[in-house]
């Protein structure tokens, strides 16, 4: 009895250490999950542009119209999404040298078709359209998304209301982002007054001109991000100098 009692008493400290270790492990795993959730739902905070992206952003400080033309998978749409998320939320990082809006904004993001807009700019801004549980994992931080309005295509949004400001002495307000497509024609682009239009993929000239007109009253901006598939189109020529056009022609 004495030996058995001694053995039982000696095992208690070991059991206590095991419980503490198990609790510490659970707390550690819980912390990792929370860190991963914060990372996934606030991609904007981690955005760091490479040189060409940084130059594209910085050009917005002095240019109302900008073009980011590059090959596939080189971060064009990601750059456009990051900038649009900054304007919508008012959350500009310390390294930012581009355009700054000092109040809530009304912005459009557009693609060739409704499905193309959903699968590209909307995906970058809000997360995978096919996975509702992952909405809020795009460039717009999840805690800034106030409400959404569904579009016609499955998983597509018509518009999103985004919380702007609210930090420090900045009074909170709401920005509005709407999604458009070129296929609807110029008439669907008329009437609205906007602070910015993002064309993801090359638009027809009449659509681009109408989008630019929407920003005239606010002194707003347009950005165009695409891979050049249409050659020396009218829209591309808008952004090239006579010298650049001549050089390309000789090439």
Q: Catalytic positions, please?
A: 201
Name beta bridge partners: 159: 149, 178
**Helix or strand run (H / E) with residue 176:** strand 173-181
Q: Helices in 47-187 by DSSP H: which ranges?
A: 51-58, 76-89, 114-117, 123-126
**Rounded CA gap, 28 and 130, in Å?**
31
Q: Extract the tokens encoding 38.
A: 């914060």
Give the C-alpha separation, 77 to 179, whole Å. 15
Residue 120 in 3-state DSSP?
A: helix
- Coil, helix or strand for 73? coil
- In the three-class reduction of DSSP (H, G, I as helix; E, B as strand; rest coil), residue 44 is classed as helix
3-state secondary structure of 249: helix
* Radius of gyration, CA atoms only, the chain: 25
Q: Which two tokens stand for residue 105?
A: 């904004």
**How many CB atoms neighbour CB 154 within 10 A?**
10
Tokens of 206: 């009449």
Q: What are phi and psi of 157, to 5 degrees?
A: -110, 145
Separation of alpha carbons 38 and 40, rounded Å: 6
């Amino acid at each position: 009895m004495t030996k058995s009692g001694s053995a039982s008493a000696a095992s208690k400290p070991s059991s206590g250490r095991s419980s503490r270790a198990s609790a510490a492990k659970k707390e550690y795993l819980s912390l990792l999950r929370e860190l991963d959730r914060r990372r996934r739902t606030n991609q904007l905070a981690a955005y760091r542009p490479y040189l060409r992206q940084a130059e594209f952003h910085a050009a917005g400080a002095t240019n109302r119209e900008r073009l980011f033309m590059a090959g596939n998978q080189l971060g064009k749409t990601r750059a456009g999404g990051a900038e649009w998320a900054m304007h919508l939320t008012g959350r500009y990082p310390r390294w930012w040298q581009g355009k700054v809006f000092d109040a809530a904004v009304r912005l459009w993001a557009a693609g060739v078709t409704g499905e193309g807009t959903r699968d590209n700019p909307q995906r970058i801004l809000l997360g995978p359209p096919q996975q509702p549980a992952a909405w809020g994992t795009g460039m717009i931080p999840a805690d800034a998304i106030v409400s959404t309005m569904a579009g016609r295509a499955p998983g597509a949004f018509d518009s999103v209301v985004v919380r702007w400001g609210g930090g420090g002495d900045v009074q909170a307000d709401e920005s509005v982002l709407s999604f458009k497509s070129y296929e609807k024609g110029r008439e669907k682009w008329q009437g609205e007054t906007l602070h910015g239009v993002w064309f993801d993929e090359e638009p027809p000239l009449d659509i681009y001109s109408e989008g630019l007109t929407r920003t005239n009253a606010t002194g707003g901006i347009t950005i165009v991000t695409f891979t050049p598939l249409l050659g020396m189109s009218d829209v591309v020529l808008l952004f090239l100098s006579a010298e650049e056009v001549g050089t390309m022609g000789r090439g």
